[in-house]
Structure 1
């Protein structure tokens, strides 16, 4: 990649430029945001078919009137046991929660908007990263997509280098991210890369969901210290955290304690112990404040007793309403706010995308090819195709026209194998990409159309190389017509059908979005196509014969026959003159050696139709920008 080569070969220039680029972005982005939320309530309806059998099931309230305010230069930590509503509230504050959400959430006195989205970073609990990209590649690709066009490519690359240095990732900058079965950077480094992706835009407001989950105390300390440095620069940070150490706890400016969707405390972190002591809940021994707060949130009193847990929770909820709620609402109403550059009033004139469609397409194309080439050209897949092609070539060795039934069997097997293979390769594409697509689309990184086209175009060479190799091997071994024209016709038909089968796989994967279910459905559909393809069953009952009109296999088989034979060709037979017309051969006559244009047209409709269905199905993934 050209941009990465610049970043890697000219380290001195880039390092110097990275500081300048970082400073430029820092100066061009107003980083002060006051976040206010008042009486936030979120309800969900229980799913049907569960334990609730009543037709009128009650709604479950996840958030029960949460109020708070976070000023620029403050870091809010939301604590609570699992199921307390921390992540739900964080998602709501980040503008990523739909459904029955009521209450008021404002950013500098304005509702969530496009300009706010482009100044907001959101780090999910799970690190959604491409495993085969290096740290530098990951951040550079993100910078090229997320930073606006008033920065040059070198400035964007320089800023990525600055973030790498700021997060202490210099030693692993050229290491791949890795995954469950691929060794890469450590868990802490992976988390810092996720944070770095959001820091690239110098966000005014940064949300983090469990940023220290699964990390050792030293790594967690380093990450929170880095976030504390961002807060000192004037940013507003909100995070959920389960059970921080005492060192981490006292780094938070404000703390929100939740229990079953109820607020138990909101205020300064260094005042939380005094507050609970004042209402009769003081720890009996010296302990980590977060451990003490989690005990209270689960209903365990200060003496460690587990009796009357609901009573403890209700007492704490009542104490919050009496001692904190009114004062907090007054503070929320009285506190002013800062404005982002341009303000919410100019949101209509604000650019909806940081980069053009062509820029998004080119960057996504390079990133997609770099990531997926490892999977498309894995040793296992190449070996699989080579072994099958050699086996087929040996089984049909020099099978000339005197063995016509064997030859048409070879052609049908070719259509069958290259119907299933690209289908199952494509069917897993979108289910595997779903989390990444949802994450990046929610951040307003790119248009869905640019992503879809980049993915489609990027897969073309990778999807067409292996069938080309397959046909090149078997064509001459099996003794098919040894002319360049016939070979090219056969190759065209094969590659054409591969693209159609791939489109069907993409559509099924995008619709179902579950790998096993999509694979099962795809297998049944393709099997029905093969059975009605005109080779196995020649007299299909009328009530099910309609399947052959939508069968990829039937149209492919017909075109493959046409690439090898003409109706006037002859083959040895038991007739009086010893020869018969190929067009009269029973298996070929049923399919026919005419009307090829109709088959080409039908496959063309499928080629476009399946991809259109896939695109429409993908619209529900992530957040569609208005």
Structure 2
């Protein structure tokens, strides 16, 4: 009865559908045979490290099954049973010791197949400050073929919004922690919509109903079932569905500790377990009963040893009753009959050109981070420090050379740390989004990197310029326009180098706390070797000053204010500026060398950041 209700509801909704629920052009049959996945676990502790021992653990233990176009497979089981691992393996996103065979229309996973595959992770990885419409439009501009015009892509995104019933919230931001946005069910539909834009033949979903109320979960599953009716092959993990949801699945795979306990039609699962002597003592939700079995629980007083015994019995029963017939069915099935995905019509690797990717990512990045760019807190911080600095150094004269040199070194310190810590958080915060979109083949890593760098330039340039304008004339530094422009040039170049260092540290470490500590140590080392605090650096450690951003910036700032042969009043006599310790330590010579060193570091740090992103396994070009 429940199954009939679901069918009627799905059919009535399906009759109102349009583009995204149409029949797919290239249906795909998914087969997996004896899939085994093993991970290596390193023993913790100092003694174990000394012994250099490690253990291997099987996460998946010979899983077999088959899903055909138009079918929806639900993988059930307790937490840690291997559901997500198997889903990731079937989606072609699992690396490591994976054995067995997984075929798509009889062929292994390839870059071609990626184009026909949609993958919705359990956690909705979305930009919180973009609206629903902006999220789907930017995804469409990146993922849809370049032979479509921008307006056609926008129209397609609007169709998806209508079909997934997101019209009511289309102009609402996604939201996130501490930022109110759309509801959980709407967020999940947006994630599904991002994958449906490419009209995938294969759709994988990890816990699509997690954290949702039963009504919202029912709507999500009803939508997914409609997608399957269009000829898609749908595979999803689900933890504990309601009875109504359970009967919506065409096939069910029950897992326990990496072992299969059942694979077959959802309507037959209860009768199967009843035939092998396992039936519920009271009427209950089938999924609750299956989860109890997967945990080895038949009654409230089941002991640990009893639970293990029940699990073993279920595994043996599966192997003797279902496994052989299932393997034979999988091996005998001719999955080449739907083989429309051929090498002859291999699509291009990227759906859009490099320049298109850069422009779309740049626009999206500016929209997402506009709240950061125009943050009143950040702007207020810089303005407040600027006026405080200007007042403390108000109309400082050359006779107060100690004060002026201190101000110039403060420039290097403040604008060394400020952009460094802003940039350190860039890649760790975006890692999940970058992994998700890169694994879907949305864009090149180089286009992302360039757009991210260009998008950050406005605020990286505007705030230091504002700081320099306020403090330079309040402090009474050299009033000529050329000197001001030279000082501003030195400051902006220093900012870009510090930002590059932050990007490199963030990409290398990918942990905000560790990267911050490392960045503090490095920048403090550069500051100490900058030529202001210590004029006589021992020879064995003097090499640090050649790498110091502070030292090179300080030299350029000194060069913007003073020149060889210039004097100042020191007490009752006249002294040479070059004899003053804070100036003499860096000297007025070698200005070009300092500029070249900063430019080299500017390029080098960004190259390191790019290479660090490339080394992350999922971020392959």
The alignment's TM-score, normalised by the length of structure 1, stands at 0.94
1:187 to 159, 180, 184: 184
Query: What does 1:223-234 correspond to in 2, within 5 Å?
Result: 223-234=220-231
1:620 CA displacement: 2.8
- Is residue 443 from structure 1 mapped to residue 440 from structure 2 by the alignment? yes
| CA spacing shift, 1:175–1:340, aligned 2, 3 Å | farther
CA gap of 1:492–1:90, structure 2 versus 1, over 3 A, is same
Structure 2 residue runs without a partner (length 5+): 1-16
- In 1, the alpha carbon distance for the partners of 2:182 and 2:538 equals 59
Partner of 1:596: 591
> Which whole-Å deviations, capped at 9, do the CAs of 1:552-602 have from their partners, x for residues lacking one?
000000001111111222211235xx3222122222112100110100000
In the alignment, which residue of structure 1 is the partner of 2:350? 353
Once the 2 structures are TM-superposed, how far is the Cα of residue 624 of structure 1 from its aligned partner?
4.7
Within 5 A, what are the aligned runs for 1:449-528?
Answer: 449-528=446-525
Equivalences for residues 81-96 of structure 1 within 5 A: 81-96=78-93
**Structure 1 counterpart of 2:575, from 577, 580, 586:** 580
**2:8 is matched with which residue?**
none
Corresponding residue for residue 314 of structure 1: 312
Q: Equivalents in 2 of 1:56, 1:458: separation in Å?
A: 47
Q: Retained in 1: the 8 A contact 2:63–2:260? A: yes
Residue 500 of structure 1: how far off its partner (Å): 0.1
Q: 1:598, 1:257 → 2: CA distance? A: 67
Query: 2: CA distance between counterparts of 1:199 and 1:613?
Result: 36
Please, which moves more after superposition, 563-572 or 207-216? 563-572
Aligned residue in 1 for 2:324: 326
Q: CA separation of 1:625/1:618 partners in 2, compared to 1, >3 Å: closer, same or farther?
A: closer
C-alpha separation in 2, matches of 1:93 and 1:51: 37
User: Equivalent residue of 1:402, what SS?
Assistant: coil
Question: How far did residue 52 of structure 1 move?
Answer: 9.1
Give the corresponding residue for 2:618. Answer: 623
Cα distance, 1:621 vs structure 2:
3.4
Displacement of 1:346:
3.1
Q: Distance in 2 between matches of 1:537 and 1:315?
A: 75
Q: Tell me if 1:610 matches 2:605.
A: yes
In the TM superposition, 1:372-391 aligns within 5 A as 372-391=369-388
Alpha-carbon distance between aligned partners in 2 of 1:50 and 1:376, rounded to the nearest angstrom: 45
Match of 1:266, SS state, is strand
In structure 1, C-alpha distance between the alignment counterparts of 2:45 and 2:113, rounded to whole Å: 39
Give the whole-Å Cα distance in 1 for the aligned partners of 2:181 and 2:63. Answer: 40
Q: Verify: 1:418 aligned to 2:415, yes or no.
A: yes
* 1:30 equivalent in alignment to 2:30: no
> For the structure 1 residues 51 and 528, does the alpha-carbon distance in structure 2 shift closer, same or farther, using more than 3 Å as the test?
closer
Measured after TM superposition, the shift of residue 48 of structure 1 is 3.9
CA apart distance, 1:47: 2.3
Q: Describe the shift of the 1:56–1:526 C-alpha distance in structure 2 as closer, same or farther (beyond 3 A).
A: closer
For structure 1, which segment, 291-300 or 349-358, has the greater mean C-alpha deviation from structure 2 after superposition? 349-358
Q: Which residue of 2 aligns with 1:4?
A: none
Match status 1:399 vs 2:399: no
Name 2:285's counterpart in structure 1: 288
CA distance in 2 between counterparts of 1:609 and 1:436 reads 25
Asked if structure 1 preserves the Cα contact closer than 8 Å seen for 2:102 and 2:108, the reply is: yes
**Does the aligned pair in 1 maintain the 2:26–2:341 contact within 8 Å?**
no
Q: How many residues align?
A: 602
TM-score by length of 2: 0.94
Contact between 1:33 and 1:339, CA under 8 Å: does it hold in 2? no
Note the residue ranges of structure 1 that are not aligned, 5 or more in a row. Answer: 1-18
The structure 1 residue matched to 2:94, chosen from 90, 93, 97, is 97
SS of residue matched to 1:106: strand
Deviation at 1:146, TM superposition (A): 0.5
Shift in Å at residue 339 of structure 1? 6.4
What is the aligned partner in structure 2 of residue 173 from structure 1? 170
Contact kept? 2:43, 2:55, Cα under 8 Å: no
Aligned to 2:9: none
The alpha carbon displacement at 1:108 in A equals: 0.7
In the TM superposition, what is the alpha-carbon distance from 1:477 to its structure 2 partner?
0.6
